[in-house]
A = this chain, B = another copy of it.
């Protein structure tokens, strides 16, 4: 079968490898219907040292169950499923607290053992916890936009949702979303879903911020840095917003968040931080009782509530996909996203 591997910055290849097999009785094998490229894949695409050993890529997937291990009980061959971007048993103490990305028995795709999901087939560990069946949809006949929206429940939309949820967005609170990538736009849509009336989107790519407006952004701030902070403060009577969702992961975005957060407000980070140390002392967070939340989204905690909203066409998070490529062309997908020629690239088998 074909699968995507990264060998260094800018070097993504499709290779022919063995089809995965059941290794544990809790595994399932899933045939990919759609996969995609994640903004977080672009970090290694820009910085990974050259390597002789390719890293298997991809962690977003909808597909058809081909085979299940003997201990799997919630999905069966032929089921149409979504795979959250991390695997988990969904029964451990942290899973039960809604923190499935901290599952004691869970882990990440893209390792030599587990493989990546930009592939024709995938081995899904702990399938009972890691696959969620989509009822009454035949992927062979379903509309393309429905498949796209279901695919976002694997990661991008529910990562945006996690940002809004951990940011404690309500209809009473003002929100700033930093970043007009697919995750930032998803955070706009999720904030609207949680009732926010005022959503300021910080982004400067008009085709993206236009989608942000369609998703619910009420204001767009194209400036960055101090100028961007000043603009948001100006829009909010100098007060800042109750919630800031930081959907970039770079230090300048974090500093913007500190600049526009209201006293007592919540900065919720969903861009994977490309830094370890950052200001959190009196001059940044502490002095104004600003709070900080966020991390890898426990998609599994949110997915069951989100599926009907997609099936009922209440939300259309799949609009973040603006390019679809065959698996053979995945390298072009990385390049297009990296060059901002594409917002988010969907992959067909």
Contacts and interface: CB of A to CB of B under 8 A. Distances in A.
Given A94-B263, A99-B264, A263-B102, A290 B280 contact: no
A102 B263 CA distance: 6
A269 interface: yes
Nearest to A298: B289
A273 interface: yes
A278 B275 contact: no
Interface residues of A, number: 38
A71 interface: no
A130 to B, nearest CB: 18
Contacts of A287: 295-296
Interface in A251-295: 262-264, 269, 272-273, 275-295
Contacts of A210: none
Contacts of A295: 285-290
Contacts of A282: 272-273, 276
B280 A93 contact: no
Counting chain B CB atoms within 10 Å of each CB, the highest count among A101, A275, A281, A296 belongs to: A281
A98 interface: yes
Interface string A301-345: 000000000000000000000000000000000000000000000
Nearest to A270: B286
B284 A276 contact: yes
Given A94-B264, A99-B264, A264-B98, A280 B288 contact: no
Nearest to A283: B276
A155 B78 CA distance: 63
Nearest to A268: B291
Contacts of A239: 93-94
Given A102-B288, A102-B289, A287-B296, A273 B263 contact: no
Contact of A166 (B166, B291, B296): B291
A289 B93 contact: no
A259 to B, nearest CB: 15
Given A94-B263, A264-B94, A281-B273, A294 B288 contact: no
20 contacts: A93-B239, A99-B263, A99-B288, A102-B263, A102-B288, A102-B289, A166-B291, A272-B286, A273-B281, A273-B282, A276-B280, A277-B277, A277-B278, A277-B280, A277-B281, A285-B295, A286-B296, A288-B295, A289-B295, A290-B295
Given A98-B264, A166-B289, A272-B286, 13 more contacts: A94-B239, A94-B263, A97-B264, A101-B263, A102-B264, A102-B289, A275-B281, A276-B282, A278-B281, A286-B295, A286-B296, A289-B293, A290-B295
Interface of A: 93-94, 97-99, 101-102, 166, 239, 262-264, 269, 272-273, 275-296, 298
